Amino acid sequence: IDVFWSIIWHFLMAIHNLCLLLLSGLSTSVFALLLYTCAPWPSSVHPGRSEPLDLHLGMFLPTLLNQATPEQMDRFFMPAWNLEIIGTYARLRWATVKLCTHLRGLETTATYDPSTQEFVLNSPTITSIKWWPGALGKTSNHAVVLAQLYTQGKCHGLHAFIVQLRDMDTHIPLPGIDVGDIGPKFGFSEVDNGFLKLDNVRIPRENMLMKYAKVEPDGSYLKPPSAKLTYGTMVFIRSLIVGQSAFSLAKACTIAIRYSTVRHQSEIQPEPQILDYQTQQYKLFPLLATAYAFTFVGQYMSQIYHRITGDINQGDFNELPELHALSAGLKAFTTWTTNSGIEVCRMSCGGHGYSCSSALPDIYAEFTPTCTYEGENTVMMLQTARYLLKSYKQAKAGQQLSGIVSYLNEMEQRQVQAHPASARPTVVDINDLSNLVECYKQRAATLVDLAARSIQQELQKRRSQEDAWNNSAIDLVRASDAHCHFVVVKLFTEKLSEIGDTAIHAVVSNLALLYALHGITQSSGDFLQAGLLTVPQMLQISVRIKELLCQLRPNAVALVDAFDFHDKKLKSVLGRYDGNVYENLFDWARRSPLNATEVHESFHKYLKPLRSKL
């Protein structure tokens, strides 16, 4: 009922906005933006189980909003909003195997023919076939296709084109369009991920998205203010994935912590709850702290994405490179952590965690693809590293950096040594979050410096730039990981200032402290090598973590309840809000399809004939 009235309310608001806009004479583009913002259905904004229209709502419509001209919005947006046009986002080629590793290497071509004012799209090789886009196989009738633009004999790189795939009445693929489903996957069986091969498919010149880059009727090309504008939709999705990581990890923690209060196991009488065991707390509470940290980071990414997008619409592209690098790195950092965290939650539930009744297998299967879609994580970390190295060089040259990488300005003042372990350890109060943020910052700066030195040493050996980069890739990924870890700790700490309630502030502060200290123990070598902490301090941190586990124990269930997952959303027998696990687990088992009959047909078909032959 709540969902029904929410949908009604959003549609009434949309109609209200439409009336106001029509009266004020504003453009369709402005209305589309407001309409999409108050949409009741985009599951990409409210992450959950994947649905066939996710790519339409989460990528096709945002691409129109971000890259279409007002004229193109008039032509495409409302039919797409009304689901007359159902679109997807076709970027990946077969050979990338969903890695997004080398976008400039995409082989699909769009060649402009000035005699007809059309683009001719082709998949010239077997490896240029588009592979993996959701809803491409059977659902979509249009696609945003990324292709190499050729005009007047020159290649101008990747650009986005709207291509009609199927007849609007019969849904039959159009001539030159070879499209279909790619088959079963590890999860998301309900989504028709597809392939697309194009053979001399002609589209009007107006079907190239030309908000920034343009091809004139005579074929002359006007380049965009920034090449990264083509990847705006990917940045949007990567920003959403950070929030999805928080959402999925929070669900897993909710199930595991609730069940850990229901389950008792010990020879001690009365049997204690397994959440009272320190080892169980050490498994789950750092993950709970991580879920909160990622929630705040997801909110931050959403805010800065919309702020920077607003700046871009005003012609300011200065922060786009940082947004691109941050979204890539945090996408990798949060999905790696969440993917392994869900599995820890599953195992912490014992044997019942393996059952689908726990919902944890489904959460894991649904979340796992995030580590490879919208960019394979190692490659995402290397993209962030490229931005960090560029920023590092600018700082070394005396340029003052702004934004999240401004800490690299301090490199010269601190004079980071080639062997930081020889530096004098910093005096750090392990209970002071501002001190710990500074530690994480200096660790990130140190690892960026070491990665830069590694590349320089490789170049001095007369390696090529590509070989120097490859031979330093481990250091580069470590630097990006440290940078992202610093960002998360910093944002979690800053969020505390927004909590006014004293009691809540104390509990969430303990979560933030646990997150920061646990992260140090997981990467203790970095902090010791950089001379940021001493061995005695590391021992103090281990003791402090145990104290924090005890302090968080009384509020653990309340902290997961605060995520406010309804039982129908959680779909977990083990994670029920009322704690009635075992009665409902038995009921869940009784509803198994194999229990529809007392004697299964296999008995009469196989077992009984077998007995008669013995």
Catalytic residue among 366, 374, 376, 458: 374
Q: Give CA–CA dist 535/29, Å, rounded.
A: 59
Residue 549 · residue 280 · CB < 8 Å: no
| Angle value at C-alpha 483, between 479 and 486, nearest 5 degrees | 140
Distances (CA, A) of 228 to 213, 235, 302, 318, 607: 11, 9, 18, 11, 64
Distance, CA of 89 to CA of 158 (rounded, Å)? 14
Enter the tokens of residue 388.
Answer: 């960090």
Whether 137 has a binding-site annotation, put simply, is no
**What is the rounded distance in angstroms from the CA atom of residue 159 to the CA atom of residue 149?**
6
Is 374 among the catalytic positions? yes
Tell which residue, 243, 303, 238, 308, has the closest CA to residue 66: 308
DSSP string, 33-77: HHHHHT-S--TTTS--S--TTHHIIIIIHHHHHHH--HHHHHHHH
Side-chain half-sphere of 312: how many Cα atoms within 13 Å? 23
Strand-strand pairing, 194-198 and 177-181: antiparallel
How far, in Å, CA of 392 to CA of 454, rounded? 13
Q: What whole-number distance in Å separates Cα of residue 418 and Cα of residue 450?
A: 7
Q: Is the peptide bond before 270 cis (omega within 30 degrees of 0)?
A: yes
In Å, what is the CA distance from 315 to each residue of 32, 61, 66, 231, 319?
A: 20, 21, 13, 17, 11
Closest CA to 210 of 28, 320, 33, 66: 66
Name the binding residues: 134
Catalytic residue set: 374
> What residues form the annotated binding site for FAD?
134
